[in-house]
């Protein structure tokens, strides 16, 4: 009885599966390799890596700061908005020139929540500094500004936006898996071509050169056999497991506090009255430049007209 109770307790202690796991599995198959559904290992061999990626996406979506209110009229009184956007026009262009915004508004929405992400940039300059009532020139300073504003996961409610954000983050993992599958299959195709060339050299090699030609062919056949096996639909679970083995190291949030004055000059945090400190957060993704991120709300979304978009494009080309 004691043994039976111990076994039963282990099953009872097993955590419940994520209610979104089946949807995540279907999404993974659709976006990476639809034929994987017809393999013997589906979905059993894919549950663990997909569940790990889904859990990490959920933790990031739940921890995403915000929402902040995006309103050009707040630029003069909100230190965060003043730091992120140099002008009201810059804010409008950032929010209203993207295809995501146009598609969202085309669905009949005029307000909504979204993920806002920006690139943080810095530059060292020589400026003017006032100390004890005296002006000092050519003082080394560091200026920070934000560019390349992007939006994603738009929704009319905050709850829907966080849910959309979860899937947007999960898709980042799927993109990495898709790249992994594509690379393995590209390597398979490359080695297949090398094998054909090596076979041709072996057939035309002289008796003295045949041993070296045979060794060269064997050096290709060994890795070709491995990548061919990995690239088959039956074995794609190995690529999923390898790419998603440590999702918390591939995509995560990191605090990136910043203290600046009204000119966006970086100031030490222990200088009261010289600026304001912002509790910013960055989204880090392996092999991708970190971006400052937050949830945002805009009460009046108005996409740029086609004429203004053309004018914007012409300015970028000048």
Kindly report the average pLDDT of the chain as a whole number.
Answer: 88
Give the range among 17-26, 178-187, 265-274 with minimum mean pLDDT. 265-274
- Among 115, 135, 117, smallest CA distance to 298 is for 115
Model pLDDT, residue 74: 87
Model pLDDT, residue 11: 44
Model pLDDT, residue 140: 86
Percent of the chain, pLDDT > 90?
A: 68
Rounded average pLDDT over 241-263: 94
- The pLDDT tens digits of the residues spanning 79-101 come to 999 999 988 888 888 777 788 98
Q: Hey, what are 60's tokens?
A: 């990031």
Terminal C-alpha separation, the chain: 81
- The pLDDT tens digits of the residues spanning 98-137 come to 889 889 988 898 899 999 999 999 999 887 877 777 777 8
What is the C-alpha separation between 98 and 149, in angstroms, rounded? Answer: 9
**pTM of the predicted protein model:** 0.86
Model pLDDT, residue 251: 97
Residue 7 in this model has a pLDDT that exceeds 80: no
Residue 77 in this model has a pLDDT that exceeds 90: no
Cis amide leading into 124 (omega within 30)? no
> b/e for 237-261, b at 16 or more Cβ within 10 A?
bbbbbebbeebeebbbbeebebbbb
The residue that leads in pLDDT, 238 or 5, is: 238
pLDDT band at 175 (very low <50, low <70, confident <90, very high): very high
Give the range among 51-55, 143-147, 177-181, 300-304 with minimum mean pLDDT. 300-304
């Amino acid at each position: 009885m004691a043994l039976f109770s111990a076994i039963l307790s282990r099953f009872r202690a097993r955590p419940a599966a994520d209610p979104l796991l089946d949807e995540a599995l279907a999404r993974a198959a659709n976006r990476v390799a639809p034929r994987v559904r017809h393999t013997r290992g589906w979905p059993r061999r894919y549950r663990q890596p997909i569940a790990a990626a889904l859990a990490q996406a959920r933790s990031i979506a739940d921890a995403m700061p915000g929402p902040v209110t995006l309103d050009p009229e707040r630029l003069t009184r909100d230190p965060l908005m003043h730091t992120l956007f140099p002008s009201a026009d810059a804010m409008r262009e950032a929010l209203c020139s993207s295809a995501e915004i146009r598609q969202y508004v085309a669905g009949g929405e005029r307000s909504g929540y979204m993920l806002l992400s920006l690139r943080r940039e810095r530059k060292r300059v020589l400026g003017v500094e006032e100390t004890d009532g005296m002006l000092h020139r050519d003082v080394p300073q560091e200026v920070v500004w934000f560019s390349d504003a992007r939006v994603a996961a738009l929704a009319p409610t905050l709850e829907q936006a966080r849910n959309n954000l979860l899937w947007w983050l999960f898709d980042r993992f799927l993109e990495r898996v898709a790249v992994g599958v594509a690379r393995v299959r590209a390597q398979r195709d490359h080695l297949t071509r090398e094998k054909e060339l090596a076979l041709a050299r072996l057939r035309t090699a002289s008796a003295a050169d045949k041993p070296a030609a045979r060794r060269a062919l064997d050096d290709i056949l060994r890795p070709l056999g491995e990548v061919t096996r990995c690239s088959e639909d039956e074995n794609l679970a190995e690529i999923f497991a390898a790419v998603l083995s440590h999702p918390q190291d591939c995509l995560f949030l990191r605090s990136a506090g910043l203290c600046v004055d009204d000119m966006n000059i970086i100031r030490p945090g222990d200088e009261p009255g010289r600026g304001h400190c912002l509790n910013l957060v960055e989204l880090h993704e392996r092999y991708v430049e970190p971006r400052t991120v937050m949830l945002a709300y805009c009460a009046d979304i108005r996409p740029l007209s086609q004429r203004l978009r053309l004018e914007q494009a012409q300015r970028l080309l000048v």
